[in-house]
Amino acid sequence: MQPHRLLMAEHQTILHMTTDIGRRVARFRESGQVDLVYVDTSTDFIHSYADRCHHGKEQGILFRDAAKKDLDPKLAQLMDQLTQEHAWARTLTERLVAANQAYREGESGALERVLTALKNIASFYPAHITKEESRFFGPCMEFFTESAQEAMLVEFAEFDRNLIHEKYQRIVEDLARESLD
């Protein structure tokens, strides 16, 4: 398997989730309320899977290694644009968390902010994924030998293996800090 094929498989999972988010936005708007647990779950998915796991491999491994290559300027510019889009998605997710908390607390206008953030997430990822798959992955992989691609896959697997430990270690540390307050 080539590294970009693994990333494309992850894209399918992200697309399934964002499709569901888009459907739920319509239902939430119709009912005039959101399911707080669903929004929490969606936020965790976007943060943990789409950003930390998936974008972590893209930026932390693929983009890092691609930046060491003599990329065509247009491809390098596209990689920078993709990195900026990842940062924008992170900011959008933070806004969703804040809006959901405000909604939970009954703040006026928070429902619309939650719905807008969910809608933006649902529309962002399909376009972003199309850009990566149709314009970046193929040309980028041409810069890597078969052995370099195999090494990248090994690093992807190691990244994934450590991710769950990192997440729950951080949770334990945060809880320990809270108990000291």
How many angstroms separate the CA atoms of 161 and 134, rounded?
28
pLDDT of residue 52: 94
By CB atoms closer than 10 A (0-12, 13-18, 19+), residue 161 is exposed
Average pLDDT per consecutive 10 residues, the chain (181 residues; last block may be shorter):
96 98 97 96 96 96 98 97 98 97 96 98 98 98 97 96 88 88 76
Residue bearing tokens 């719905």: 115
How many angstroms separate the CA atoms of 79 and 66, rounded?
9
pLDDT of residue 178: 86
CATH 1.10.510.10 fits 3-180, yes or no: no
Extract the tokens encoding 153: 């896959």
Report pTM.
0.92
How many angstroms separate the CA atoms of 140 and 179, rounded?
47
The DSSP output letter for 35 is: -
Residue bearing tokens 């729950």: 168
Q: What is the CA radius of gyration of the chain?
A: 18
Extract the tokens encoding 181: 């307050």
pLDDT of residue 140: 97
pLDDT of residue 53: 95
For the chain, give every domain's residue range.
Answer: 3-180
- Whats the size of the chain, residue-wise? 181
pLDDT of residue 58: 98
Q: State which amino acid sits at residue 108.
A: S
How many angstroms separate the CA atoms of 122 and 118, rounded?
6
